[in-house]
Structure 1
Amino acid sequence: MASKALSRLSSLQNHLNPKGLVKLSDEVSDALSSGQAVVALESTIISHGMPYPQNLETAKEVEEIVRDNGAVPATIAILDGVPCIGAYLKLFLGSF
């Protein structure tokens, strides 16, 4: 099932953006390839859902809850016009 999801994502990525401008983090890609659970999370809580710093604290906490339950968080955001799936908080917080 995960390989089917990854195949669909690749197909969709190629259809929507033949130059490969959809960025999928290595962690999310590896999780999908290996059949590990991946949980999609919205980035809107960071951009306009809550005031700072509660927004970042809550987003981080939600990602930790996902990890604590054996899944990989895949926060989705549009950065500079490019859809990015996974590792968004690390990028946003500059903690790569």
Structure 2
Amino acid sequence: MPSGSFSTVAPAPGCNGQDGDRRQSPPYDFAARFQQDSVGRIMKRMHGSESGTWFWTCHEGGARGTVATKEEAVVEVERAYTRRIVKADWR
């Protein structure tokens, strides 16, 4: 994982692949955290035309996208969350 501002990128809570849980099991589903707050999610796509790519989303502001690697997804969540904190897109 690239060195950045996030303290952790950990498996998303409740993602155990059991009891009909449709979410993916680790190591393909991660919660991006800054300090104690969950600020985003990173998941590997396992099916369909985008299989093998990584989907990312930032909870605040709704930024999201798809990239080739988990490391790129971490960078994108960091970038989106940082832009939100500094209000870079506010007018």
Please classify the TM superposition score into its range, dividing by the shorter chain length. Answer: under 0.3
TM-score normalized by the length of structure 1 = 0.25
Higher relative contact order by CA 8 Å / sep ≥ 6: 1 or 2? 1
TM-score normalized by the length of structure 2 = 0.26
More helix by proportion, 1 or 2? 1
More strand by proportion, 1 or 2? 2
